[in-house]
Amino acid sequence: MKNNKIRVCVIGSGRAGMIHARNFARSVPYAEIAAMSDPVEEAAVNACKELGIDKYFLDYKDVLNDESIDAVVVVTPTVFHKEIVTAAAAAGKHILCEKPMAMNETECSDMIAACDENKVKLQIGFMRRFDESFRHAKERIDSGEIGDVVCVKSVTHGPSTPRSWMYDIRKSNGPLAEVSSHDIDALHWYAGSYIKEVYAIAGNYRCPDAADEFPDFYDNVLVTARFKNNMQGLIDGAQGVQYGYDSRVEIVGTHGIIFVGKNQNYSVLTCSPNGISTPFVKSWQNLFIDAYKLEDQKFIESILEDKAPEVTGTDGLEAVKVVNAGNTSIIEKRPVTL
């Protein structure tokens, strides 16, 4: 720690990585962006120029050898998360790891164990828990306003087609991981229980280029879930829908219902001879910008106050278990018990 500030290095300078980096550069009290790490030098240099810093690393291992770095944010493809997080923990760095946490339950368990052993914080990047509307809904559930939760339904539709590396679900864990991890965590959070059984169906409707080489790839998925407390859950996930970024949750209680999320970019409704229209949210980057900011602030808080992060490694592990069970259900066409 320098000048009473947590010095952070973001590992990965893509879209989500730069959201975190900008927050630490401008918006997070008691923290500062100290460095960036990216194997592509041009990307690392451009990130540093935007952030007004000089230090960057091409190899994440060099970050861990820098004693001036207190914490890292891991924003790389999922397949690298376990390696980086366990190494960062061994180096004594606190860690904010983007979702999905890892590829499988064993990797998640190894990451949790490494952080526990080295007494560093591990927070998983489920930023919806830090969105104002999502948090307000949780408060109303906890207050008993709708009685006991009976069913949680979550929708995430992304506008863009998947990147080609996502086609191989053995490497990406598919849209259930890349898109629906947030939905899985929302179900866990609102139901107050982890999922114990899933049945999933899926299909490839928008990515014909993937069909021949990757017959298991899907861009549309529906999941029915049962929780350990016997409540119910539904997930509707899709990629390449084109119309905009759509994120909504419905919580049904014993005597009420809560609707969460908005899809209008502005509270504007236009009526004209051409019909009725309202601008739709284009990207998760627009919709959850403030949630990312609070997420980063809470990460630093957990370090300074030596308290458990609001989203733990166990939350990440339970989501990964559901992803893997869902993919098994899709392939084997049967319900899967976790």
Instruction: Assess if residue 272 is contained within a domain.
Output: yes
Across 70-74, 244-248, 250-254, least confident range? 244-248
Domain that holds residue 69: 6-127+291-310
pLDDT of the residue at 268 = 65
Q: Are 265 and 249 in contact (CB under 8 A)?
A: no
162 in the same domain as 183: yes
333 in the same domain as 205: yes
Six token digits for residue 271: 């009526």
273 in the same domain as 203: yes
Residue 3 has pLDDT above 90, yes or no: no
More confident residue, 267 or 96: 96
Instruction: Assess if residue 138 is contained within a domain.
Output: yes
215 in the same domain as 258: yes
Q: Are 233 and 191 in contact (CB under 8 A)?
A: yes
223 in the same domain as 144: yes
pLDDT of the residue at 281 = 76
Tokens 């869902």 sit on residue? 326
Mean local confidence (pLDDT), 315-321: 98
Per DSSP, the chain holds a count of helices (H) and strands (E) of 12, 15
Instruction: Assess if residue 166 is contained within a domain.
Output: yes
Instruction: Assess if residue 157 is contained within a domain.
Output: yes
100 in the same domain as 41: yes
Mean local confidence (pLDDT), 283-295: 85
Looking at every residue in the chain, the average pLDDT score rounds to 95
261 in the same domain as 191: yes
- Band (279; pLDDT cuts 50, 70, 90): confident
CATH for 30: 3.40.50.720
Q: Specify the 3-state DSSP secondary structure of 89.
A: helix
Instruction: Assess if residue 284 is contained within a domain.
Output: yes
pLDDT of the residue at 37 = 98
Mean local confidence (pLDDT), 38-61: 98
Residue 59 has pLDDT above 70, yes or no: yes
Give the relative orientation of helices 15-26 and 289-304 as an angle to the nearest 10 degrees: 60
Across 53-67, 114-128, 281-295, least confident range? 281-295
Which tens digit of pLDDT belongs to each residue from 220-231? 999 999 999 999
133 in the same domain as 123: no
Instruction: Assess if residue 195 is contained within a domain.
Output: yes
140 in the same domain as 68: no
CATH for 226: 3.30.360.10
32 in the same domain as 146: no
3-state secondary structure 110-173: HHHHHHHHCCCCEEEECHHHHCHHHHHHHHHHHCCCCCCEEEEEEEEECCCCCCHHHHCHHHHC
Instruction: Assess if residue 1 is contained within a domain.
Output: no
196 in the same domain as 303: no
Distance between CA atoms of 9 and 113, rounded to whole angstroms?
Answer: 22
pLDDT of the residue at 274 = 85
Number of structural domains in the chain: 2
Give percent of the chain above pLDDT 70: 97
Residue 166 has pLDDT above 80, yes or no: yes
Residue 295 has pLDDT above 70, yes or no: yes
Residue 84 has pLDDT above 90, yes or no: yes
More confident residue, 274 or 218: 218
Distance between CA atoms of 330 and 223, rounded to whole angstroms?
Answer: 9
- Band (287; pLDDT cuts 50, 70, 90): confident
296 in the same domain as 274: no
Q: Which stretch of DSSP H or E encloses residue 310?
A: none
Instruction: Assess if residue 256 is contained within a domain.
Output: yes
- Band (167; pLDDT cuts 50, 70, 90): very high
